[in-house]
Amino acid sequence: MIYIIDTNSFGVLKNYYPAIFESFWEKFDELVEDGRVTSVREVSKELNRREDSEHLTEWIEENSRIFSPPTEDELEFVSQIFSVQHFQQLIGEKQLLKGYPVADPFLIAKAGIIEGGCVITEEKLKPHAAKIPNVCSHFNIDCTNIQGMLERENWNL
């Protein structure tokens, strides 16, 4: 399984302090090295707009290669997402007006074209919402959160 990590899940990871959760970071870094943890360029842009913990900021800089630009296939998938009128709400008015980065459709598209792709987000499935889990469900794309990833990997820290 390949995990595509959302901005808000990186927010959870900042609470995993390396001095305390050393085994977590060792295992997580192994997933990165194996190419099983990735993200998208827009998540990196969203993270650059936030104040995060020093250790997470350092980790992100050291692992910047995981934040890839969209491929042609991913861009085509993004257009499929936005062809569903309700999912156009993935881009909020503030993001449109201020030109802020929007990672959600790119995360979903990346997972949609990768066999075994799974979006990692802390968003919850909400009826009739335009949230990542709702879009993933519509397109039959796997989606869970950090806890779900830990459970799937059978990590006991």
Give the model confidence (pLDDT) of 108-148 as tens digits.
999 999 988 999 999 999 999 999 999 999 999 999 999 99
Residue 49: exposure state from Cβ atoms within 10 A (0-12, 13-18, ≥19): exposed
DSSP letters, 44-92, are HHHHHTS---HHHHHHHHHTGGGEEPPPHHHHHHHHHHHTSGGGGGGS-
| pLDDT tens readout for residues 10-62 | 999 999 999 999 999 999 999 999 999 999 999 999 998 877 789 999 999 99
CATH superfamily of 2-152: 5'-nuclease (3.40.50.1010)
Domain ranges, ordered by start, for the chain: 2-152
CA distance 117 to 133: 14
Q: Report how far apart, in Å, the C-alpha atoms of 103 and of each of 27, 47, 133, 138, 152 are.
A: 25, 10, 14, 18, 24
The CA distance from 148 to 56, in Å, is: 20
For residue 156, name the pLDDT band (cuts at 50, 70, 90): confident
| CA dihedral for 64, 120, 14, 155, sign (positive or negative) | negative
Read off the tokens for 119. Answer: 């979006």
Compare 45 and 98 and report the one with higher pLDDT: 45
Beta-ladder partners of 68: 40
Inter-helix orientation angle 104-113/41-48, to 10°: 150
pLDDT at 11: 93
3-class DSSP state of 21: coil
- What would the two tokens of residue 49 be? 């707009």
The residue among 107 and 156 whose pLDDT is bigger is 107
Report whether pLDDT(157) > 70: no
The H helix count followed by the E strand count for the chain is 9, 5
This prediction has a pTM of 0.94
